[in-house]
Amino acid sequence: MPPEFTYMDPSGKPDPEEFEDAYNRFFKEHIPVNTRRPEAFHLPFPLNTKPRLGIITATLPVSVLKEKAREKQVNLTVYLAAVYFYAVQQIYEDPAWPRRRKKTGKISVQIPINTRNLYPSKTMRNFSLFVMPEIDRRLGHYTFDEILKSVFHQMQLETDVKLVNKILSRNVGSERNIIVRAIPLFIKNPILRMNFKKMGYSQCTGVLSNFMGIHFLLP
Amino acid sequence: MMEHIESVMVVLPPPNKLTKVSCGIIGFNDKVSVTFGNISRNRDLERNFFCFLTSENIPVSITYNRNCHDECL
């Protein structure tokens, strides 16, 4: 094993922090919850027949992409998010799609953030939150540079730990409520499903992962 | 181990009926891999995305393309 490779010894005693619920640990009470966002524009495409999922992968040289991002003074996640916004805007502006399918001009993309950079947790359980930068196409056409500027500043603002606390308190607050906990699951489940439909993906146009590089150090 | 791996891709959980498309990005070696999962019949978003990158002189090569009714990997 190379000395620089940090790993967890499977025969060792696990750190209790590895299986902690980090959402609960960093939850702060009495924080105003995040307000509900209005419905976002959704791609007006008809669905495929089952099985629906099609996958397309492209590779790009990281050096060229980094150079482009550096020119614009942003990181790769922001650069690619701006390209995503630009691509969605082109669909919004395409006259082939009827106006009734463009009820709202708000284009919003969900981007996960690395919460372990904000909160010192070693948990191996799910611990992710996301930000949702947006542009409102009803205000007019956005050039790529305008989108880039807007996405960059929104990402900077929304990844502030105080604002992330708001998202965290929204997610965890109701879970800790004693009345909510007392309600049986078979009643809660359909209500949660309804809420998810109303408040979940209706608020965002699409999902984009943040950029991370991976390394395999093993020989 | 790096020399035995040609490429890596990340496929996000299938998008839901509202969002229809999701996009996963990962870096490996000197390449960035962008993967779109799409449950709709239209590929305009992917085309616009990659066309914009090529218009910016960023070389894009499609390495994997699986239609919804193709056999699995």
* Per-residue pLDDT reduced to its tens digit, A76-105: 999 999 999 999 999 999 988 887 777 788
Amino acid, res. A147: I
Q: How far apart, in whole angstroms, are the C-alpha atoms of residue A209 and residue A99? A: 29
Cβ–Cβ gap A61/B30 under 8 Å: yes
> Phi, psi at residue B8, to the nearest 5°?
-130, 140
Q: Do B30 and A54 touch (CB under 8 A)?
A: no
CA distance A133 to chain B (A): 15
Confidence check: pLDDT of A26 > 90:
no
Residues A211 and A44: their CA atoms lie apart, in Å, by 27
Q: What is the pLDDT of residue B73?
A: 47
What integer pLDDT is reported at residue A80 of this predicted model?
96
Token pair of A219, please? 């020989």
pLDDT band at B70 (very low <50, low <70, confident <90, very high): low
Over the stretch A112-167, which tens digit does the pLDDT of each residue have?
Answer: 988 888 888 888 888 888 899 999 998 999 999 999 999 999 999 988 888 888 88
Pairing of strands A213-214, A134-136: unpaired
A219 — pLDDT class (breaks 50, 70, 90): low
Checking if the pLDDT of B69 tops 70, the result is: no
B40: which strand partners? A47
Q: How many CB atoms sit inside 10 A of residue A65's CB? A: 22
Q: Which residues of B touch A143 (CB under 8 A)?
A: none
Strands B21-28 and A134-136: unpaired
Q: Nearest CB to B12: which of A42, A63, A209?
A: A209
Whole-angstrom Cα distance, residue B53 to residue A209? 18
Query: Which of B4, B6, B44 would you mutate first to test chain A, the one with the most A CBs within 10 A?
Result: B44
B35 with A47: Cβ contact below 8 A: no
Looking at chain B, how many residues does it have?
73
Query: pLDDT for B6-59, tens place per residue?
Result: 888 898 888 888 899 999 999 998 899 999 999 999 999 999 999 999 999 999
pLDDT: which is higher, A189 or A216: A189
The count of C-alpha atoms lying within 13 angstroms of the C-alpha of A15, restricted to the half-sphere facing its C-beta, is: 9
Residue A149 in tokens: 């500027």
